[in-house]
Amino acid sequence: MLSRKGIIPEEYVLTRLAEDPAEPRYRARERKARFVSKKGNCNVAHKNIREQGRFLQDVFTTLVDLKWPHTLLIFTMSFLCSWLLFAMVWWLIAFAHGDLANGEGATVPCVTSINSFSSAFLFSIEVQVTIGFGGRMVTEECPLAILILIVQNIVGLMINAIMLGCIFMKTAQAHRRAETLIFSKHAVIALRHGRLCFMLRVGDLRKSMIISATIRMQVVRKTTSPEGEVVPLHQVDIPMENGVGGNSIFLVAPLVIYHIIDANSPLYDLAPSDLHHHQDLEIIVILEGVVETTGITTQARTSYLADEILWGQRFVPIVTEEDGRYAVDYSKFGNTIKVPTPLCTAHQLDEDRSLLDALTLASARGPLRKRSVAMAKAKPRFSISPDSLS
């Protein structure tokens, strides 16, 4: 790290002395491209769009979707350009009426105190922003000047409405609220009620709740149809379960959402060994709801690749009761523990339930066996000799 910053020359770094140029270097295996990132952004690049004019048909949405530097630039230039445009119009009116002759002539000017382009620019700002310093004003001499005054006021109101609405929508976008909706970094597969289940944990960091929150999950993988058509992003909806049943959740505290891996599940033939070699598997989780304070619908997304799914582990409890109320320890939000889980697919487990019975028996004998071994290794504190009994 010091050599990259230029503090220590590279030829004096010990790590370079330990390298052998003759040895082959192996690159790390490239990770599968995600369809949805961990933060919820869609990892899709749109290229070769020929109909660019469609974006101009919805100017407001285009402005909201722009990045902040571009939005602020358009915000500033829209006002400057309108001020300069109408300043030119006011200067032309004064020039055509002969008001730029520095007071020569007895005619009443169209606009008082306009002697140059600078004064016309200042008057344009006063009209559009309604500052009204009182030094310049439109007279009854020129009906055209009155018409331009009305037009500039209408144009100024339209620019204010569009740009201020755009700034408001960018600051109050729904994905801002989704920043406080968190998912566990890893998902787990373990037994629950005698069935293999895919589980993850979701929580809300804010006290203001998400109303009518629903959660759904999709499996995205590359498939080939019987006709030979390759579908690179085949999406399959799979049902999620929670403690109360259904997709609606009451997200007042972190919940463990699970999916039962049954015969209708795309994970029915997923084995523990496939998690390290199944590169085409990605599970997307989508949480939707209405923000209680603003009434805006928000959506939080995340995804789990095959190597982010832990087999045979379970989330640790993080909700405890303290001083008459429940407390949530978010430092253990993603912590898991190992639990007895059969190393087979859900399909194999349904065909041979004896695997589950053997696992249950082994887990039940485990504590007793450990206790018996511990008691055998323990030394007695005292002994009774035969002579003491006589």
Convert the pLDDT of each residue in 45-104 to its tens digit: 777 777 666 667 777 788 888 888 998 999 999 999 999 999 999 999 999 888 887 555
Q: Tell me the pLDDT of the chain averaged across its residues.
A: 78
Count of CA atoms in the C-beta half-sphere (13 A) of 99: 26
**pLDDT, average across residues 282-309:** 87
- Residue 20: which pLDDT band, with cuts at 50, 70 and 90? very low
Convert the pLDDT of each residue in 96-145 to its tens digit: 888 887 555 547 888 888 888 999 999 999 999 888 777 788 988 899 99
Residue 165 and residue 63: Cα distance in Å, rounded? 10
What is the pLDDT, as a whole number, of residue 121? Answer: 94
Count of CA atoms in the C-beta half-sphere (13 A) of 258: 20
What is the pLDDT, as a whole number, of residue 39? Answer: 77
> Which pTM does this prediction carry?
0.67
Which runs of E-coded beta strand occur in 135-291?
181-183, 187-192, 195-204, 210-224, 230-238, 248-249, 255-260, 282-291
**pLDDT, average across residues 282-290:** 89
What is the pLDDT, as a whole number, of residue 278? Answer: 65
- Give the fold, CATH level 3, of 177-359: Immunoglobulin-like (2.60.40)
Q: Are 85 and 121 in contact (CB under 8 A)?
A: no
54-172 CATH choice from 3.30.390.10, 1.10.287.70, 1.10.10.10, 3.20.20.10: 1.10.287.70
Cα separations in angstroms, 73 against 63, 83, 196? 11, 16, 54
Name the packing angle between helices 143-171 and 117-129 (round to 10°).
60
Higher-pLDDT residue of 42 and 156 is 156
Pick the range with the lowest mean pLDDT from 111-115, 238-242, 297-301, 309-313: 238-242
Pick the range with the lowest mean pLDDT from 16-20, 173-177, 317-321: 16-20
Higher-pLDDT residue of 30 and 212 is 212
Secondary structure (3-state) at 51: coil
Tell which residue, 299, 325, 286, has the closest CA to residue 210.
Answer: 299
Helix (H) or strand (E) holding 304: strand 297-305
The phi and psi torsions of 142 (rounded to 5 degrees) equal -120, 110
- Domain segments of the chain as ranges: 54-172, 177-359
